[in-house]
Amino acid sequence: MLIESFLDYLRYERNYSERTILAYGEDLCQVRNYVQEEGGEFNPAEVKSEQIRGWIVSLIDLGYTSTSVNRKLSSLRSFYRYLLKQGEVEVNPLRKIAGPKNKKPLPVFLKESDMNKLLDDTDFGEGFIGCRDHLIIEMFYATGMRLSELIGLNDSDVDFSASLLKVTGKRNKQRLIPFGDELRDAMLAYINIRNEEVLERSGAFFIRENGQRLYRTLVYDLVKRNLSKVVALKKKSPHVLRHTFATMMLNNDAELGAVKELLGHASLSATEIYTHTTFEELKKVYKQAHPRA
């Protein structure tokens, strides 16, 4: 009865969708069935933390992912918050329960040979658009900047004398990114053809044929379209090129703190995931090269 009253509470007082209520109901019935199968009677006031932990283990043994287990735990937590509020229980058995940690997927990145093929051998087309699209790919790869940072780049943010780009990242935090001679030459070539073909322009560095700033879907689509020419990755986005930049830097002995600053990460932990990427790559090389691997 307590489960039914909780679901009615979600339905009539919290206005949850029927689909969500159904999911809550299935999760709670699953807990109830587990407790009963273990030889006990399901009384929410008498459920122990050990039983909850046993239920979690049983879910993992059944093949549920950590994400699914944590979602089910969230349903149970909501149920017990409701019971505490109603005075049906005095102790929450989940107060010291921690769900399984979700595994962060390793970043997807391109190999150096794929990037060379993309930048050196791929036809981007002629004229202003081809030159612009090629430079966008090259800039993502050479600087590791975010999509929003590339779109927001202005002519005034490019300092050719110091070889620096000023980008505005998350929470409007600005940082400087150095660039090399190869990117410098590509940028100057783009500016020349841009200024010849697009006479009326906004102050944006990357523009459309009408002189206005680029927008997210345009850049996303052009990156996806051109990456499809050289790789069969499921994910093909500007962020993949950002991942590729970070991975290449670390593979070539860049210091982790320096990569953190270049990427504009708030903490070193966000950058450390790329060390796992480079380690996975090392394992692949080892397995391919070592006769006893």
Does 193 fall in a domain?
Answer: yes
* Helical residues (DSSP H) of the chain, grouped into ranges: 2-8, 18-37, 49-61, 66-86, 112-121, 127-143, 147-151, 181-197, 216-227, 238-251, 256-263, 268-289
Catalytic residues: 146, 170, 239, 242, 265, 274
103-140 pLDDT per residue, tens? 667 788 898 999 999 999 999 998 999 999 999 999 99
Same domain, yes or no: 60 and 131: no
For residue 205, being part of any structural domain is answered with yes
**In this predicted model, what pLDDT tens digit does every residue of 34-53 receive, in sequence order?**
999 987 788 999 998 989 99
Average pLDDT value over all residues in the chain: 90
50-84, pLDDT tens digit by residue?
Answer: 899 999 999 988 989 888 999 999 999 999 999 99
pLDDT of res. 272: 82
Residue 107 belongs to some domain of the structure: no
Residues 11-40 pLDDT 10s: 999 999 999 999 999 999 999 999 999 877
Which residues lie below 8 Å from residue 189, measured CB to CB, with a gap of 6+?
131
Residue 122 and residue 81 in one domain: no
User: 218 and 176 in one domain?
Assistant: yes
Number of domains in the chain: 2
For residues 191 and 57, state if they share a domain. no
Residue 160 included in any domain: yes
Residue 58's domain comprises 2-86
**Which residues does residue 159 pair with via DSSP β-bridges, in sequence order?**
164
The whole-model pTM stands at 0.64
Query: Does residue 21 sit in the same domain as residue 121?
Result: no
Same domain membership, residue 65 and residue 162 = no
Examine the domain organization and report whether 177 and 65 are in the same domain: no
Q: 193 and 143 in one domain? A: yes
